[in-house]
Chain A
Amino acid sequence: MADFTLDEDQRQIQDMARKFAANELRPIARECDEEAVAPSEVLDKVWELGFCANAIPENYGGYDLGRSALTSAIMVEELAWGDLGLTMAALSPLLMMVPILEFGADEQKEEWLPKFCGERFFPGTAAIMEPRIVFDPLELGTTVETQGENVVISGKKCMVPLADQAEHILVYASPRNGDAPQPVKAVIVDRNTPGLSIGPKEKNLGLNALPLFPVAFDQCVVPASRCVGRDRGIDYMKLLNLSRANLSAMAVGVARASHEYALTYAKERFAFGEPIACRQSIAFMLAEAAMEIDGMRLLAWRAAWRLDRNEDATKDAGLAKMYCAEQAMKVVDYGVQILGGHGYIREHPVEMWFRNGRSFSITEGLAIG
Chain B
Amino acid sequence: MKSLVCLKQVPDTETQIKVNPEGTGIVTEGIKHIINPYDEFSVEEALRLKEKFKEGEVVILAIGPDRATESIRTALAMGADRGIHVNDPAVNTADPFAVAQALAAAAKDVQYDVIFCGHRAIDDDFCEVGAMLAEFLGLPQVTLVTKVEVAADKKSAILERDIEGGKETVEVPLPCVVTSQKGLNEPRYASLPGIMKAKKKPIDAKNAAALGVSVEAKLQSKEYSMPPERKAGKKIEGLEPPDAAKQVVQALRNEAKII
Contacts and interface: CB of A to CB of B under 8 A. Distances in A.
Contacts of A103: none
A43 B16 CA distance: 34
Contact of B193 (A11, A15, A19, A53): A53
Contacts of A51: 192
Interface in A41-83: 48-51, 53-54, 63, 65-66
Given A8-B73, A12-B77, A65-B197, A19 B189 contact: yes
A232 B192 CA distance: 31
Interface string B43-62: 00000000000000000000
B196 interface: yes
B191 interface: yes
A20 interface: yes
B195 interface: yes
B189 A12 contact: no
Contacts of A48: 189, 191
B158 to A, nearest CB: 29
Given A12-B73, A20-B189, A50 B199 contact: no
Contacts of B197: 63, 65
Interface string A1-42: 000000011011101100110000000000000000000000
B23 to A, nearest CB: 28
Interface in B186-203: 189-199
A244 B189 CA distance: 28
Contacts, number: 46
Contact of B196 (A11, A15, A19, A65): A65
Looking at A8, A51, A66, which has the most chain B CB atoms within 10 Å of its CB? A8
A65 B193 CA distance: 7
Interface string B169-194: 00000000000000000000111111
Main secondary structure of the interface of B (DSSP, over half): helix
A8 B196 CA distance: 9
Nearest to A62: B193
Contacts of A11: 70
Given A9-B199, A63-B197, A65-B197, A50 B191 contact: yes
B74 interface: yes
Contacts of B196: 9, 54, 63, 65-66
Contacts of A54: 191-193, 196
Contacts of B193: 50, 53-54, 63, 65
A9 B74 CA distance: 10
A65 B192 contact: yes
Contacts of B195: 9, 12-13, 16
B65 to A, nearest CB: 16
Contact of B192 (A8, A13, A19): A13
Contact of B189 (A8, A9, A49, A66): A49
A63 B198 CA distance: 13
B74 A15 contact: yes
Looking at B189, B192, B193, B196, which has the most chain A CB atoms within 10 Å of its CB? B192
A51 to B, nearest CB: 6
Looking at B70, B190, B196, B197, which has the most chain A CB atoms within 10 Å of its CB? B196
B13 to A, nearest CB: 11
A50 B193 CA distance: 6
Given A54-B196, A63-B197, A65-B197, A12 B74 contact: yes
A51 B195 CA distance: 11
Contacts of B199: 8-9
B190 A12 contact: yes
A44 to B, nearest CB: 13
Contacts of B73: 8, 12
Contacts of A66: 196
B83 to A, nearest CB: 14
A50 B192 contact: yes
A48 B190 CA distance: 9
A334 B194 CA distance: 39
Interface string B118-152: 00000000000000000000000000000000000
Interface in A117-167: none
Nearest to A17: B189
A242 B185 CA distance: 38
Contacts of B198: 12
A49 B194 CA distance: 9
Given A9-B199, A16-B189, A50 B70 contact: no
B47 to A, nearest CB: 14
A138 B195 CA distance: 37
A33 B197 CA distance: 36
Contacts of B77: 12, 16
Given A9-B199, A19-B189, A20-B189, A50 B74 contact: no
Contacts of B70: 8, 11-12
B196 to A, nearest CB: 4
Nearest to A55: B192
Interface of B: 70, 73-74, 77, 189-199
27 contacts: A8-B73, A9-B195, A9-B196, A9-B199, A11-B70, A12-B74, A12-B77, A12-B190, A13-B195, A15-B74, A16-B189, A16-B190, A48-B189, A49-B192, A50-B191, A50-B192, A50-B193, A50-B194, A53-B193, A54-B193, A54-B196, A63-B193, A63-B197, A65-B192, A65-B196, A65-B197, A66-B196
Closest A-B pairs by Cβ, 10 of them: A50-B191, A54-B192, A63-B193, A65-B196, A12-B195, A50-B193, A50-B192, A54-B193, A16-B190, A49-B191
Given A9-B195, A12-B73, A50-B192, 8 more contacts: A8-B73, A9-B196, A12-B77, A48-B191, A50-B194, A54-B192, A54-B193, A65-B197
